[in-house]
Amino acid sequence: MPTNKQIHLDNRPLGEAAASNFKLAVSDTPALQDGQVLVRHQFLSLDPYMRGRMNDGKSYAQPQALGQTMIGGTAGEVIESRNVKFSVGDKVVGMGGWQEYSVVDADQVGALRKVDTSHVPLSAYLGAVGMPGVTAWYGLVKIIAPKVGETMVVSAATGAVGSAFAALSKARGCRTVGIAGGPEKCRYAVEELGFDACIDYKQHKDAVTLSKALKEACPAGIDGYFENVGGMVLDAVLSRMNAFGRIAVCGMIAGYNGAPVPLTYPALILMNRLKIEGFIVSEHMEVWPEALKELGTLVASGALRARESVAQGIEAAPEAFLGLLKGKNFGKQLVKLHD
């Protein structure tokens, strides 16, 4: 059995997360029991939700245990199997964590999923055709419920969720506007992802000027907003929402370091009779097959060409994750562990 490198959570962050919160560990992979498979991970997914798990506070998920391998989605290959449902060579996706190999009880529901890489690359199953893509699908289809001709806005527009949101929104005949950080990301959003417009929030010092930019990009107002960020961006969007607008709240990355992120004008929720709904995509497994079918078709046809930022080697995971929290990634953030 192979030697396995892992990244553990060594201590909890006080405020901003740091590389010192993590620790590299090396262990021998245990021998397989009946029903188990050994997966060699090719890619590890890094996602903003992991920051919340690092805290020891009340949240929608259990905190990450200290001294244990960091949780995370993985895509890889079965290299040994004692389970009749899986064969050596199968490409699979699961929650293998920040490590090079995982031993999986493959009979557990949802523990491991076989994927077809003939038309969709393996890495896409951690992004556009995985949890981030389904997140975009659920927020748009089930919460916002767009109508043809409406205006949709998404923050973190060039990330894994935002890029999927663009393709899904355009497929439903909506004007689709992104908010991203930096001219290069905004150019990519329009030229590659198909956004009708993209606003660089870094060009705006406050919600007032960002709101003016939104007015130009959304002359008919905003009907649906997919929230990844919070803070100033949410304040600006709220000021441009139409009556009976819908907001799907997926993330509040502006507040992930623990400081409160207040709303400036909460009265706008009442004035415009807004629907605001937070959601966790893992609580809606019933929609995954339908969502993944549409997302897979969009990727295979070239209608969704999501970009990836790929760090090399398990040792690079902590710095890549910290960069993700600060928007240094361009597209879906992955770590490549094996060829």
Summarised one tens digit per residue, pLDDT across range 186-196 is: 999 999 999 99
Residues 139 and 234 in one domain: yes
Query: Residue 286 and residue 263: Cα distance in Å, rounded?
Result: 33
Note the pLDDT of residue 88. 97
* Residue 120, C-beta contacts closer than 8 angstroms, at least 6 positions apart: 129, 296, 299, 300
Residues 150 and 238 in one domain: yes
> Has residue 292 been placed in a domain?
no
Whether the Cβ atoms of residue 159 and residue 332 lie closer than 8 Å to each other: yes
Note the pLDDT of residue 251. 84
Note the pLDDT of residue 138. 98
Query: Residue 248 and residue 58: Cα distance in Å, rounded?
Result: 21
Residues 135 and 266 in one domain: yes
Residue in the block written with tokens 């809606």: 284
SS3 for 78?
strand
- What is the reported pTM? 0.90
Note the pLDDT of residue 257. 67
- Parallel, antiparallel, or unpaired: how do β-strands 175-180 and 151-155 relate? parallel
Residue in the block written with tokens 């405020």: 15
Q: What is the 3-state secondary structure (H, E, C) of 120-147?
A: CCHHHHHCCCCHHHHHHHHHHHHHHCCC
User: Strands, E, within the chain: which ranges?
Assistant: 3-9, 22-28, 36-45, 74-81, 91-94, 101-105, 112-114, 151-155, 175-180, 197-200, 222-227, 241-249, 275-278, 308-312, 332-336
Q: How would you classify residue 74: left for phi > 0, otherwise alpha for psi between -120 and 50, otherwise beta? A: beta
Residues 82 and 208 in one domain: no
Note the pLDDT of residue 32. 96
CATH number of the domain within which 59 lies = 3.90.180.10
Note the pLDDT of residue 82. 96
Whether the Cβ atoms of residue 76 and residue 104 lie closer than 8 Å to each other: no
> Has residue 297 been placed in a domain?
no
Note the pLDDT of residue 84. 96
Residues 317 and 274 in one domain: no
CATH number of the domain within which 149 lies = 3.40.50.720
**Partners of 197 in the β-ladder:** 177
Q: Which two tokens stand for residue 263?
A: 């709303």
Residues 100 and 77 in one domain: yes
Residues 51 and 69 in one domain: yes
Domain containing 56 equals 3-127+306-336
Angle 65-66-72 from CA coordinates, rounded to 5°: 55
Total domains present in the chain: 2
Q: How many CB atoms lie within 10 A of CB 119?
A: 11
Residues 50 and 120 in one domain: yes
pLDDT one digit per residue (tens) for the chain, 339 residues: 799 999 999 999 998 999 999 999 999 999 999 999 999 999 999 998 899 899 887 676 789 999 999 999 999 999 999 999 999 999 999 999 999 999 999 999 889 999 999 999 999 999 999 999 999 999 999 999 999 999 999 999 999 999 999 999 999 999 999 999 999 999 999 999 999 999 999 999 999 999 999 999 999 999 999 999 889 999 999 999 999 999 999 988 777 666 778 899 999 999 999 999 999 998 999 999 999 999 999 999 999 988 999 999 999 999 999 999 998 888 899 999 998
Strand ordering across the sheet containing 275-278: 197-200, 175-180, 151-155, 222-227, 241-249, 275-278
Task: Tell me the backbone φ, ψ of residue 26, rounded to 5 degrees.
Answer: -125, 130
Q: Which of 156, 155, 144, 161 is nearest to 277 (CA)?
A: 144
